[in-house]
Amino acid sequence: MLGGSHAQAPKLAGFNRIGQVIAVVSGKGGVGKSSLTALLAVALGRQGQKVGVLDADITGPSIPKLFGLPAGGLRGNEAGILPAITRTGIRVVSANLMLPEEDAAVAWRGPLITGLIQQFWGQVLWGKLDTLLVDLPPGTSDPLLTVVRQMPLRGAVLVTSPQQLAALVVRKAVNLLKTLNVPVLGVVENLAYYPCPQSGEHHEVFGPSHAYEVAVAAGCDLLVRLPIDPSLTQLGDAGRIEEAELPELAPLVARLLGVVTQRAQA
């Protein structure tokens, strides 16, 4: 267990017991990081894990919306900030939960954003968690560096999509993670194909896959290819992502559960 050695307030070091911290990273925006973070949280919860989600996308937070959590849902006391709790018990902290209204904008410069991410790690009463998932904004800028420096990451899940640009930019993320010594636990190619409901044939709507080359570059053999599934968008928009079923995620879920097992045995 990680006792919160990385810059957590001394009072919290005893209270927070976090088994593993995993970042969800992509190069390009809009490839499905937040959806995947939410779906992984749900899947790990269904396996009996206590899960938290730290929304490190301060200016474009989308985690509360996916879970149907209202703005203004964060409370705090002298001891720290209390996470919001979803219907199935996932603990969530996000800038959007601090705003008076869901569509209020956060127009902050880098240092303030960095400071808030640090607070989400250092001053939140997460309690005992098996897994804390960190949803990052796209790219390889400050928030990723802040998360890598402040939190004891077990590794990252890399999300890409079949567009060449996404593969190109995600390779930049691979290189940065290598430089920062963050292992890649899995590569997820989202929006990989559309399964024809009639024939079952897979149509590669956004072009041929680049996920294998991304996985090779990342030195990671775990590859999950997720279909285009309109029900995901509908459930996410309705704040009901906890009802989604995505069996294709199973190998990645197993990998993340395996990390906990290995750590527990160590």
Ligand X SMILES: Nc1ncnc2c1ncn2[C@@H]1O[C@H](COP(=O)(O)OP(=O)(O)OP(=O)(O)O)[C@@H](O)[C@H]1O
User: Which residues of this chain interact with Mg ion, rule CB under 5 A?
Assistant: 33-34, 62
| Paired tokens of 64 | 């509360």
Q: Enumerate helices (H) and strands (E) in the chain, giving the number of each.
A: 9, 12
Is residue 94 involved in binding ligand X (CB under 6 A)? Answer: no
By C-alpha distance, which of 246, 251, 227, 219 is closest to 162?
A: 227
Measure the CA–CA gap between 36 and 44, rounded to whole angstroms.
Answer: 12
Q: Pattern 178-217, binding to ligand X, x per CB under 6 A? A: ------------xx--------------------------
Q: Which is nearer to ligand X, 125 or 166 (CB)?
A: 166
- Considering only residues 26 through 85, tell me which ones interact with ligand X, judged by CB under 6 A: 26, 29-35, 57, 60, 62
For ligand X, give the closer residue by CB, 235 or 257. Answer: 235
Q: Please identify, using beta-carbon distances, which residue of 182 and 192 lies nearer to ligand X.
A: 192
Which residues sit in the known binding site for ATP?
27-34
Question: Using CB distances below 5 to 8 A depending on partner kind, what does residue 85 bind out of Mg ion, ligand X, none?
Answer: none
Chain CA centroid to CA 188, Å: 12
Q: Which of ligand X, Mg ion, none lies near 140, with the C-beta cut-off 5 to 8 A by kind?
A: none
* Tokens of residue 144, six digits: 């990723």
Q: How far is the CB of 133 from ligand X (least distance, A)?
A: 12
Binding residue for ligand X (CB under 6 A) from 106, 168, 180, 228?
A: 228
Rounded Cα distance, 86 and 63, in Å: 11
User: CA angle, 250 as apex, 66 and 162 as ends, to 5°?
Assistant: 70
- Stretch (H or E) spanning 204: none
Residues 6+ apart with CB under 8 A from 65: 96, 102, 236, 237, 239
Contacts with ligand X, residue ranges (CB under 6 A): 26, 29-35, 57, 60, 62, 137-138, 190-191, 226, 228-230, 232-233, 236
